[in-house]
Chain A
Amino acid sequence: MIILDGQLTTDHWRTVRDDESLPPDGNLLFGYERFVANALFYSQRPGGLGVILQPEDSLEPILPWLGRLNLIGLHFPRVADGRHYSTARLLRTRHGYQGELRATGEVYRDQLDFMRRVGFNAFQLPESEDPQAVLNGVRSPRAYPDLQYDLLRTA
């Protein structure tokens, strides 16, 4: 189940495994190393282009491709690993990334409000989550300290 911009949708992306040959077409989502090694080539093929980053992956090598990338997936191996909250924020602020920013891995409803506010607009949720409950959570307005609105405005 994918939530994109506050709506439940089917996923139109295909994840390409590292040992798999390159599919002829479609929206393709690559692992970080495979993407970095072939970025120039992949960027020239038609169709959507996406990459998934683990928390330890550096942003530097993908920065030249931000204009071409349609999807950046940030993977959360554990709920408690919060490095990607900063990655997301940097992508949206300093680097001005405009495409889909998707949270994958251990992503549950209780984190979505934080994720949304650092710039994620897409969430890949486990089967166990109740879609309606999650959607209600994502959509409902919330109160924050004034200062958090300042931070939001700058996002």
Chain B
Amino acid sequence: MYQQDEWDQALLRERVAEFRDQTQRFLAGQLTEDAYRPLRLMNGLYVQRHAPMLRVAIPYGVLSSDQLRGLAHVAEHHDRGYGHFTTRQNIQFNWLTLASVPDVLAELAEVGLHAIQTSGNCIRNVTTDPLAGLLPGEVDDPRPWCELIRQWATLNPEFTFLPRKFKIAVSGRLHDRAACRIHDLGLELRRDEQEKPGFRVWVGGGLGREPHLAQCLREFLPADDLIDYLTAVLRVYNQAGRRDHLYKSRIKILVKSLGIEAFSNQVEATWQDIRETRSISALAALARIQARFTEPAHDPALADDRIEPTPTGAFARWLRYNTREHRVPGYRVVFILLKGLERAPGDLTAVEMRVLADLADQHGFSRLQTTHDQNLLLPHIPVRALREVWQTLDILGLANPGIGTVNDVTACPGLDYCNLANAATLPLAQQIQQRFQDLDYLHDLGEVHLKISGCMNGCAHHHVADIGLLGVEKQGGSWFQLLLGGRAGAESRLGRVLGPALRAEQVPDAIETILALYAARRLSGEPFAETVQRIGLKTFKETVYEQHDHSRRATHHGSLAHSEG
């Protein structure tokens, strides 16, 4: 984990003081709403349906137990006792008062957390693979590179007023679990024939209104050139990106309008220029950063540990589904599922945060990690502590072995919190989980990713889900469009729309139909998206809509279920 530098603390304190002054000027009427907006956005503060929402950065998802306690403190003293983990590995507080935000930021700064550049038209929090450096066979750890990019992007004077937000993801060498191709810029660590480190660079990905998978901008960028190259990409975008239209200002639109070749030529020319005049060695900067990264001191004496007695029942099931083999023998990676009937996806209470922080202190080198699907990890748990960890999680209701199943629903806050929402996502997430309570069935289906976005901004990344649900604008209640067969990662693919939108009440039935068809028609071991590809969307479409026509005739009002959330 990265040990913060002196400048980190100084920078955070200065920024808190500055934001306090800005907020006071705004509350005193010396700053107009228009002038205050970019300032508060730069500090992660949105004005939402009920109250201001503060998004706190968790750089590449890494959290210490003290930081989690800091978040618990904020949840308890300034919010309603909980926080909400997002799909970009950050956490949001939904019930703050504007006047309290400077205090909240000051408290967070004490544990090295902040909200800088978590919103606004700037370079956002860099994300990566939550399992980076944890699984067997992982070679290159992307996290020092993420830290390098964070340092380059934080308060970068040239790129703080971009045409639009800019998201960067970095993935490790073997598998892209960082979803490089749905980011404005994706960096995939790799090595050339001489084993020299570098990146494959992807550009122009993004979901939202006009979903695009990123295109390859450069097959191999030598690692030492990363900073110069990033500067070149951002400079071209800053100067040429559209600023006249909100929906046309992401880099994907620029890349599309110029064509990848012309865009790449501009970047290369700018890069050439920077190299000749003001080059910075990324490897030298990385060495400095790497020196501040500490690895947990795994105990080699634990390598042969076995769980005694042999696990059975719920514990065995949890082990199988919610933990993964660790790179270091004698340890496992533990997933914590932040879903369930009692919580909105990604929600965690202050009490739970504290217990998890204690667990991490006792057994897990004080470390935690957030994931892209609104869950948490305890990345380094000794095998011999697993039973105790499970028991504690079970008491908290956090040991549901549903990781990766349909019930591991990812959902944006939707109508309950978000100003832009068309539909209520949280009640639907509940209804879906309610419907699929049979663990044997869930585990038999295997990994099926289900994601719900409340509007076309697609914060839950519904385009790259096996089953994506999109809230659409329609009179009378919440309506959802279904998309099938999307995938993030190496073989990224956007899901395709199944057919006309369904009422929220009809969605659980439709999903049941879809899953039944999948279970009946899949080849052995075939993932969901592959089956959709093989037997065709049409087959799914016909089955789902035919079923619905039947039930429409059978029931009186044409709505299938009446389980309102």
Contact = CB atoms under 8 A, between A and B. Distances in A.
Nearest to B122: A82
Contacts of B11: 142-145
Name B's interface SS. Answer: helix
Nearest to A152: B157
Contacts of B8: 145
B247 interface: no
A94 interface: yes
Interface string A84-119: 011101000110000000000000101001111110
Nearest to A118: B157
Interface stretch (B148-156, B386-394, B433-441, B498-506): B148-156
A45 interface: no
A143 B14 contact: yes
A71 B58 CA distance: 43
A20 interface: no
Contacts of A86: 158, 235, 238-239
A117 B39 contact: no
B5 A146 contact: yes
A146 B157 contact: no
A85 B160 CA distance: 9
Interface string A112-155: 01111110000000000000000000000011111110110011
B22 interface: yes
B111 to A, nearest CB: 18
Nearest to A143: B10
B159 interface: yes
B38 A82 contact: no
Contacts, number: 97
Interface string B155-187: 111111110000000000000000000000000
Contact of A81 (B156, B243, B273): B243
Name A's interface SS. Answer: helix
A102 to B, nearest CB: 16
Contacts of A79: 35, 38, 161
B227 A147 contact: yes
A147 B152 contact: yes
Contact of B39 (A87, A110, A144): A110
Interface stretch (B124-132, B277-285, B522-530): B277-285
Given A80-B38, A81-B243, A108-B35, A145 B161 contact: no
B121 interface: yes
B157 A150 contact: no
Given A86-B239, A94-B273, A148 B22 contact: no
Contacts of A150: 280, 285
Nearest to B32: A128
B278 to A, nearest CB: 4
Contacts of B239: 83, 86-87
B238 A83 contact: yes
A116 to B, nearest CB: 8
A8 B280 CA distance: 35
B288 interface: yes
Contact of B7 (A117, A143, A154): A143
A107 B14 CA distance: 21
Contact of B280 (A93, A118, A143, A154): A154
| Residue in B148, B154, B156 with the greatest tally of chain A CB atoms within 10 Å | B156
A94 B7 contact: no
B278 A115 contact: no
A82 B159 CA distance: 7
Interface string B365-387: 00000000000000000000000
Nearest to B238: A86
A147 B6 CA distance: 14
A154 B154 contact: no
Interface in B202-255: 227, 235, 238-239, 243
B285 A85 contact: no
A80 B165 CA distance: 12
Contacts of A117: 157
A144 to B, nearest CB: 6
Contacts of B278: 93, 154-155
Contacts of B235: 86, 89
Interface string B3-19: 00111101100100010
Please provide the 4 A-B residue pairs with the shortest distance between their CB atoms, ordered closest to farther.
A82-B161, A143-B10, A145-B151, A117-B157
Given A80-B161, A82-B161, A94-B273, 8 more contacts: A80-B121, A80-B243, A85-B157, A110-B39, A114-B160, A145-B150, A151-B280, A154-B278
6 contacts: A82-B160, A115-B157, A143-B6, A144-B7, A148-B157, A150-B280
Interface of A: 79-83, 85-87, 89, 93-94, 108, 110, 113-118, 142-148, 150-151, 154-155
